[in-house]
A = this chain, B = another copy of it.
């Protein structure tokens, strides 16, 4: 008798995410604006969130492509997928204040906890292990993933840049959630979303940005990461 095992699922067979609304908390910061711009330009419905609704609305207007602005709570409530792009020092407080709004949502943490001194950037280690694990601890009813750490805000925001040559490492505990985020990354020309492990391995992905900052200084580049042989 031969084995009746199901054929292994193709890891590139990703869901259609074109109908999802994506919220970006911290959508008025450099990283958040850049991500919002790229996703909206790719046809995604995007809502940028900020503490002040008025600031979010102004940012949305500048971004165009149908982007809307709202305060963080409204942004979270109205979105299916919520990207967390706030500064690290506002991370805990922002998420604590949105526990109810984020219940049941697919949360994508892209925050890089870094310190800076005269020798450059260095990794900060959150007590939960990583920013993503802190989000998971603060949001027990949300589905937390981590992604979009290594993108250059400069490239994201430059309308003249058609394609961004980089992979997005996606981390999480639930395969379907990771695949949704991978599909979202893949909507942006030049990007792939690549599954890269569980949340307990998020710290090094977040911290690698310190190294990319060194690379950028030495080579005057906007370095990204591509995984080879994948």
Contact = CB atoms under 8 A, between A and B. Distances in A.
Contact of A214 (B119, B121, B166, B198): B198
Interface string A13-39: 000000000000000000000000000
Contacts of A226: 225-228
B200 A215 contact: no
Interface stretch (A40-48, A51-59, A74-82, A202-210): A202-210
Please tell me how many copies of the chain the complex holds: 2
Interface in A74-133: 119-123, 125
Interface stretch (A63-71, A137-145, A216-224): A216-224
A217 B204 CA distance: 19
Contacts of A198: 119-120, 214
Contacts of A225: 225-228
A210 B205 CA distance: 10
A214 B172 CA distance: 11
